[in-house]
Structure 1
Amino acid sequence: MMVASKLEKTTRQSMKLKTLSFIAGAIALGLTAIPFAVEAQTASSSPLLIAQAKGRGPWQKLNLTDAQKSQLKQIRESTRAQIDQVLTAEQKAQLEKLKAERQAQRGQGQRPQQRGERGKKGFAALNLSEDQKAQIKKIMESSKQQTQAVFTPEQLEQMKQFRENSRARRQQQKGPGV
């Protein structure tokens, strides 16, 4: 009986961790991917932005209109503001510290961590309550829907294709059986 209880508790903890990982990944994606779409043509020392400005980045291939860029910027700013309202002062300070560390890594030419790792580390450090996780998940789902509504069907298909190609490249880099 006691073993079953421990197993159930472990399973619940595992599910909470998976949920947190999902939320962190969604937030990381939302807060990092959208700015690249909006600011793809700005001058920066970031290798990713330089690649996009030269026409090699995935967002550049979408040929976003100025109106789309503006809409995406508004969605991103609104999403950040909504998430900011959910966080406590301590969590906001911790998030800013993590952002500064990430910027410093980029400035030193270090390769940033994988998106999932960065998101898990960052948001796990914030110790979000279940209520905060639920609120942020709702905000991110709304943001995703709003963002997808900005793109044309052709652009959505291009993004889907890019994600599939990226996934395939990552699998090849990991090697067989991983």
Structure 2
Amino acid sequence: MRSSQLTRATVFGLLAVLVTAWSAAANGGQVRIANYPIGPYEITVFTSPTPLQTGTVDVSVLLQRRDTKAIVDDAQIVLTIEPVSGGPSRQYPVTREQATNKLYYAAEFPVDQPGSYRMRLDVRAPEGAGAVEFDVAVERAGSSLWRSWWLWGAIVLLQIPLWWWLFGGRTQVRGQTKTRPTPASKR
């Protein structure tokens, strides 16, 4: 009885950790710009996935007042992305509606080709405006199976019954393997 309670608690704990890790991935990623001053504000920019790959890319922006660190609510932010080697640029609105965490502004957009890109964020808020830009490298999307959290979570969860089968279901008595008696077989 005690072993099954421990097993249930372990499974529940692992599931809780995996769900928490999954939700923490939203509006995060790699910090590209940290606390960069724009007028009375400072901006922090994150990109994901890490590393950036072809497919859907997320750029998240945290805009705060420099003096109080209060979140700035009514800003207009536009993201411009262009290949460093030349080519047409594309613009995307960076909004709260696209952000999972509503303290952030975010934009999700497709990047079809690997290479180096320049990202520029133009920020306009009631007390100031400005821009920040940075370069990123986008890799060709490969198999992300080995980097996937659910794969490693499944491996961990499959180990629990394996360990129970190997070590919990049998006892050693004088060199012989015996199965533990069940309550119905005791007399």
Q: TM-score, normalised by structure 2?
A: 0.30
Comparing both structures, which one devotes a greater share of its residues to strand? 2
Higher relative contact order (CA closer than 8 Å, sequence separation 6+): 1
Comparing both structures, which one devotes a greater share of its residues to helix? 1
Q: In terms of Rg, which structure is larger?
A: 2
